[in-house]
């Protein structure tokens, strides 16, 4: 079994590491030159950290990021209005982790290199030439042809691999622009010896501000705000990203009523450290896999774009990668026929699509909670959480990916049952249940 992976981001590196741990050969193809580092940071919740821990990466990641349990919601007078628990070692096994993207990718790349997984940088995927029940042949931009048992597209929201599966589907701009500034400043109460830096969301009448400590000691903070902004061409987005004076003015609009400690953090902004993130959404794909053979598979943002509000974009990409790798390795050992292999991939896809839908609903509710109160109050009940409500997130953060009807697949088991009838394929979750509704076959 040989798996070709397009993209060396979080999803691509994670599936490669998991496949390698299960004895499956893989090669990563990345269009960027090494080393590319990227911008921004990730919020990793217990559901992703648990999987990264199984790959032997958590201890190193934890020591290089900011660990926290709660996100505080505060108003313009700096009064706590609510607390959202994103991590809890006693309840979920882990705190949440805020880690810069360059550091996160460096840790994963180091593990990939240490384990001898081949990565071909500056190697751009072009298109699929042929796909059969046995495998897929694709072409690189330099003309090279590659044949593999499986092709995995982990190449982001603007995926080129997706064109083979859903050629008419493309991401579109949501109308929301995140403006982010990184400052070297410890954000905490005035008496910093009494209280550690705190992840805080300030919700005002006309604007909102998210303050996210970074680095292990919280010595750096990410300040983020969101603005409605008209759609731009690709060239205009690039031009805006370099117009630091304009970005600064956009960022500072409606900040005059923030508490003094927010205003103090704002004084540390270096215009050169301001960047933008236009939020793109992706229409639901009827399939993340190629039909009928399912030898080309999409992961992460290539299959589903989840806004970053609750940190589940990266977390669900890691879940995609880990669970798919487990399915592939189990199916490879079972030596299934191509038809049964395709059915097993379909089983994985169905389970993942249902979990992603629930994660999207959660993210939208949390995103609505970040809106200025004037905008949030216009929304219907049920589309955001009222102050004081604390939804049960054990289905998302708890041990196992299957604590609700939106189950993630940990592995697929193939059982040849006695008596007449076809081979039954069951999707097995880590808590021992099968299928989408308890102990039943999900494909026959």
pLDDT bucket at 249, cuts 50 / 70 / 90? very high
Average pLDDT over residues 221-226: 91
Average pLDDT over residues 44-65: 95
Alpha-carbon distance 440 to 442, whole Å? 6
- Least confident among 159-168, 197-206, 296-305, 386-395: 386-395
pLDDT digits (tens, 9 = 90+) for 116-139: 999 999 999 999 999 999 999 999
Average pLDDT over residues 407-416: 39
Report the chain's terminal Cα–Cα distance, integer Å: 24
pLDDT bucket at 390, cuts 50 / 70 / 90? low
What is the token pair recorded at 266? 């704002």
Give Cα separations from 436 to 309, 353, 413 (angstroms): 28, 12, 14
pLDDT bucket at 437, cuts 50 / 70 / 90? very low
pLDDT for the residue 125: 98
Average pLDDT over residues 302-320: 87
pLDDT bucket at 400, cuts 50 / 70 / 90? low
Instruction: Judge whether residue 227 has pLDDT over 80.
Output: yes
pLDDT bucket at 147, cuts 50 / 70 / 90? very high
Q: Apex CA 231: angle with CA 382 and CA 175, to 5°?
A: 10
pLDDT bucket at 365, cuts 50 / 70 / 90? confident
Alpha-carbon distance 434 to 332, whole Å? 20
Give Cα separations from 238 to 139, 180, 233, 307, 365 (angstroms): 29, 15, 9, 21, 30
Average pLDDT over residues 350-366: 86
pLDDT digits (tens, 9 = 90+) for 197-219: 888 989 887 788 999 998 898 88
pLDDT for the residue 377: 74
Cβ partners under 8 Å of residue 85, min gap 6: 69, 70, 71, 390, 393
CB 74 within 8 A of CB 203: yes
Domain with CATH 3.30.9.30 in the chain: 172-281
DSSP, collapsed to helix, strand or coil, labels residue 366 as: helix
DSSP, collapsed to helix, strand or coil, labels residue 114 as: helix
DSSP codes, 156-219: -TT-STHHHH-TT---EEEEEEEEEEEE----S-SSTTTS----EEEE-SS-EEEEEEESTTS-
Helix (H) or strand (E) holding 376: helix 373-376
The Cβ-side half-sphere exposure at 360, using a 13 Å CA radius, reads 15
Alpha-carbon distance 355 to 357, whole Å? 5
Which CATH superfamily includes the segment(s) 2-49+103-171+285-409?
FAD/NAD(P)-binding domain (3.50.50.60)
Position with higher pLDDT, 310 vs 28: 28
pLDDT for the residue 444: 28
CB 313 within 8 A of CB 305: yes
Give Cα separations from 81 to 64, 185, 203, 377, 387 (angstroms): 30, 24, 9, 15, 6
Position with higher pLDDT, 423 vs 28: 28
Closest CA to 384 of 397, 401, 372: 372
The torsion region of residue 202 among left (phi > 0), alpha (psi -120 to 50) and beta comes to beta
Average pLDDT over residues 281-291: 92
Q: Apex CA 293: angle with CA 289 and CA 297, to 5°?
A: 25
CB 272 within 8 A of CB 244: yes
Length of the chain: 444
Q: Express as a percent the part of the chain with pLDDT over 90.
A: 55
Q: Computed from CA positions of residues 16, 285, 101, 172, in that sequence, does the dihedral angle turn out positive or negative?
A: positive
- Least confident among 186-195, 307-316, 410-419: 410-419
- Least confident among 54-68, 73-87, 218-232, 400-414: 400-414
CATH number of the domain located at residue range(s) 172-281 in this protein:
3.30.9.30
- Least confident among 143-152, 287-296, 422-431: 422-431
pLDDT for the residue 303: 95
pLDDT bucket at 372, cuts 50 / 70 / 90? low
Burial environment of residue 137 by CB neighbours within 10 A (0 to 12, 13 to 18, 19 or more): middle
Instruction: Judge whether residue 395 has pLDDT over 70.
Output: yes
- Pairing relationship of beta strands 118-120 and 25-29 according to DSSP bridges: parallel
Average pLDDT over residues 213-238: 91
- Mean pLDDT across the chain, nearest whole number? 84
CB 269 within 8 A of CB 181: yes
Domain with CATH 3.50.50.60 in the chain: 2-49+103-171+285-409
CB 177 within 8 A of CB 226: yes
Rg (CA), the chain: 22
Average pLDDT over residues 72-100: 89
pLDDT for the residue 382: 66
Number of Cβ within a 10 Å radius of residue 281: 16
What is the token pair recorded at 233? 């061409």
pLDDT for the residue 409: 39
Burial environment of residue 69 by CB neighbours within 10 A (0 to 12, 13 to 18, 19 or more): middle
Helix (H) or strand (E) holding 153: strand 150-153
Q: Express as a percent the part of the chain with pLDDT over 70.
A: 84
């Amino acid at each position: 079994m040989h798996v070709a992976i397009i993209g060396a981001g979080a999803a691509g590196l994670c599936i490669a590491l998991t496949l390698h741990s299960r004895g499956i050969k893989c090669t990563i193809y990345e269009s960027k030159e090494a080393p590319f580092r990227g911008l921004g940071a990730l919020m990793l919740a217990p559901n992703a950290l648990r999987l990264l821990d199984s790959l032997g990466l958590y201890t190193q990641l934890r020591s290089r990021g900011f660990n926290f349990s709660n996100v505080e919601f505060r108003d313009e007078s700096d009064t706590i209005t609510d607390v959202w628990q994103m991590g809890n070692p006693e309840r979920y096994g882990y705190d949440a982790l805020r880690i810069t993207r360059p550091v996160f990718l460096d840790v994963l790349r180091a593990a990939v290199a240490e384990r001898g997984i081949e990565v071909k940088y500056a190697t751009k995927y072009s298109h699929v030439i042929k796909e059969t029940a046995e495998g897929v042949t694709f072409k690189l931009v330099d003309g090279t042809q590659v044949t593999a048992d499986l092709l995995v597209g982990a190449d982001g929201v603007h995926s080129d691999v997706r064109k083979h599966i859903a050629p008419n589907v493309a991401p579109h701009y949501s109308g929301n622009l995140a403006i982010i500034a990184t400052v070297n400043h410890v954000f905490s109460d005035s008496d910093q010896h009494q209280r550690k830096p705190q992840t805080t969301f300030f919700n005002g009448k006309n604007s909102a501000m998210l303050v996210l400590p970074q680095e292990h000691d919280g010595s750096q903070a990410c300040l983020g705000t969101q603005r409605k902004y008209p759609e731009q061409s690709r060239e205009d987005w690039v031009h805006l990203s370099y117009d630091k004076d304009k970005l600064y003015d956009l960022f500072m609009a409606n900040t005059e009523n923030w508490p003094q400690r927010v205003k103090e953090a704002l004084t540390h902004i270096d215009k050169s450290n301001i960047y933008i993130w236009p939020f793109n959404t992706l229409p639901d794909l009827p399939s993340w896999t190629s039909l009928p053979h399912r030898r080309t598979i999409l992961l992460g943002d290539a299959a589903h774009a989840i806004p970053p509000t609750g940190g589940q974009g990266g977390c669900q990409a890691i879940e995609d990668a880990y669970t798919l790798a487990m399915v592939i390795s189990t199916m490879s050992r079972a030596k299934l026929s191509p038809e049964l292999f395709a059915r097993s991939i379909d089983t994985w896809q169905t389970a993942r699509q249902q979990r992603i839908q629930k994660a999207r609903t959660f993210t939208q509710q949390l995103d609505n909670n970040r809106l200025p109160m004037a905008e949030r109050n216009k929304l219907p009940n049920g589309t955001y959480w009222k102050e004081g409500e604390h939804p049960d997130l054990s289905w998302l953060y708890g041990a196992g990916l299957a604590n609700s009807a939106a189950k993630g697949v940990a592995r697929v088991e193939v059982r040849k049952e006695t008596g007449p009838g076809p081979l039954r394929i069951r999707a097995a979750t880590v808590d021992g249940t099968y299928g989408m509704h308890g102990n039943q076959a999900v494909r026959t």
